[in-house]
Amino acid sequence: MKARGVVLAMALSLVMGMQSFAATEIGLNLNWKYAGNSKINTGKAVLYTSDVKEPKHITIAVNAGHGTKGGEKQRTLCHPDGTRKLTGGTNAAGVTTASAVSSGMTFQDGTREATVTLQMAHILGKKLLAEGYDVLMIRSEEDVQLDNIARTVLANNKADAHIALHWDATTKDKGAFFMSVPDGLKRMEPVASNWQNHEKLGDSLISGLKGQGVKIFGKGRMDMDLTQTSYSTIPSVDIELGDKVSDHGEKTLNNLADGLVKGINIYYGFSS
């Protein structure tokens, strides 16, 4: 099994054009906190280690949103304590369970969101490694059998910050924003101990994107009760990089990735 993992990780690093970076497959340890709440957890994330001269020794979990076959057939607890969801989204407000992973939207040109988030994850991962960050790629291929809880718990235990990449389901090209924690959740753990870091990271990413000339929606945030932030014990953000009608060509994705790298540097106090 170990040999197969190494071969697979090498193949993945070739896909990502990151032959020179060491890659290790990492699965979910069911003893980790909240891991028992996940339902789809047999997939593996891949940890890439930066080989620049002065690595930062900071690991960023890059989570390409969606892309889990069967993810909508399973339901998981929205909150670790089983309380009701405060805001609607893919799943209605008031429910206690949500799709383990939703399948995501389809762009107006027919491209699936999951395809674009994966492409974006590869571009961002490469730039982060070049910048000296280590990268935990939650999903490296079309499908990973890790639900939103499993993805979050892996990031909690193997990364220093967690960035989930998404595009929104509106058709306005309204701009980028991050999903901030609703006030009603700020007393529930682990949100209570972490929401300020989520906001600081979210605001930093928005500043970085602004610096690249990316259009920002309103103040760059929208309150949303997400499984990701409800289970995160590290700085954690769901960033929506546009919507169904936004351009997602390679040039745009590169610019968005540069903005995100800038934002991460801002968060950690590095000037880029």
Note the residues at the interface with Zn ion (CB under 5 A).
Answer: 65, 104, 166
Which one, 166 or 262, has the nearer CB to Zn ion? 166
Question: What's the min distance (Å) between Cβ of 13 and Zn ion?
Answer: 26
CB of 95 closer than 8 Å to CB of 230: no
Cis peptide bond prior to 235, omega within 30° of 0: no
Question: What's the min distance (Å) between Cβ of 10 and Zn ion?
Answer: 30
Which one, 56 or 244, has the nearer CB to Zn ion? 244
Question: What's the min distance (Å) between Cβ of 113 and Zn ion?
Answer: 5
Structure tokens at 182: 């609703």
Question: What's the min distance (Å) between Cβ of 244 and Zn ion?
Answer: 11
Which one, 104 or 182, has the nearer CB to Zn ion? 104
Nearest to 164, CA basis, from 147, 152, 172: 152
Structure tokens at 24: 């290790």
At position 146, the amino acid (one-letter code) is L
Which one, 133 or 167, has the nearer CB to Zn ion? 167
Instruction: Compute the Cα dihedral for 142, 148, 154, 159 and give only its sign.
Output: positive
The residue assigned the tokens 């699936």 is: 112
φ, ψ for residue 222, nearest 5 deg: -145, 130
Question: What's the min distance (Å) between Cβ of 177 and Zn ion?
Answer: 13
Which one, 65 or 259, has the nearer CB to Zn ion? 65
- Which residues are within 8 A (CB) of 247 and not within 5 positions of it... i.e. 6 or more apart? none
Q: Which residue is nearest to Zn ion (CB)?
A: 166
